Chain A
């Protein structure tokens, strides 16, 4: 049985983006699938055509992880890494996140929560966009908040623009 309908992307606050999904498996298994490199590299691949040549996880508080994805057709690579801040197996993992080619200033903080409900495990990933740089620079942090608010409103605006239908989005 699959639960694709439970997939949701939302923006709980100005600086957060949240992904939720239910899985038909015990929490321990889902937790392993998110934290063991030999399992992570088998599913965290995005759309077809991408491979994951690097998937390193030192699963300890203060330990680092590094993922690199590669688009085989054109050789384009995308890397991400961070440090584990909190580990409470099999319930909660907090880690920093930074893309090699970042589109936002500083680091983001990812919190992944695993909740078991009967046969189902619900995962919630919350990405909090923040950084020392952003804190130090008001303009930049303003920009960051603006970006998150942008997600909130983008779909709404695109709906309005689509209704006008002259812009071809």
Chain B
């Protein structure tokens, strides 16, 4: 998967409150479907559906043992998504600081122009 489509999958997976709660739960350790379903008023198949979405987005991996399919968090896509957001912020933040400097320069030029209108209008 390209990094752009992986970001899409990550953000889509994160758009659901239940899935975010599942991820927060998994951050403290592996869990079975039963354990994950317990805090929600949801059936096991409904939770399994959410787990499939998270697995496809690469946010979790699931064990092979059919009896107790443990889910565990994979933090890498989250790090990538978080980094993207941080980069977006940083892009604007650093650009705007530069713009502060440029605006000061433009204001000084504008003042000079006002002081010497005859020189510049010629």
A interface, CB within 8 angstroms of B: 2-4, 7, 9, 19, 21, 23-26, 29-30, 32-33, 39, 42-48, 101-104, 143, 145-151, 153-158, 160-161, 164, 166-169
Contact = CB atoms under 8 A, between A and B. Distances in A.
A151 B85 contact: yes
A33 B99 contact: yes
Contact of A168 (B29, B75, B99): B75
Given A153-B17, A169-B78, 18 more contacts: A4-B100, A25-B104, A26-B107, A33-B102, A42-B102, A43-B95, A43-B98, A46-B94, A103-B4, A146-B11, A146-B12, A146-B16, A147-B8, A148-B11, A150-B14, A154-B82, A160-B27, A164-B28
Contacts of B14: 146, 149-150, 153-154, 157
B102 A43 contact: yes
A43 B26 CA distance: 43
B93 to A, nearest CB: 6
Contacts of A160: 20, 24, 27
B31 interface: no
Contact of A29 (B10, B23, B103): B103
- Majority secondary structure of chain B interface residues (helix, strand, loop or mixed): helix
B24 to A, nearest CB: 4
Interface string B75-106: 10011011001001111111111111111101
Contacts of B92: 7, 9, 19, 21
A153 B59 CA distance: 15
A89 B92 CA distance: 22
A15 to B, nearest CB: 12
B102 A39 contact: yes
B13 to A, nearest CB: 8
Nearest to A147: B11
19 contacts: A4-B97, A9-B88, A9-B89, A23-B99, A23-B100, A29-B107, A30-B103, A39-B102, A43-B99, A46-B94, A46-B95, A47-B90, A103-B8, A145-B15, A146-B14, A147-B12, A151-B11, A153-B20, A154-B85
Nearest to A168: B75
Given A47-B91, A146-B15, A161-B78, A7 B96 contact: yes
Contacts of A7: 92-93, 96
A168 to B, nearest CB: 6
B103 A24 contact: yes
Contacts of B36: none
Contacts of A151: 11, 85
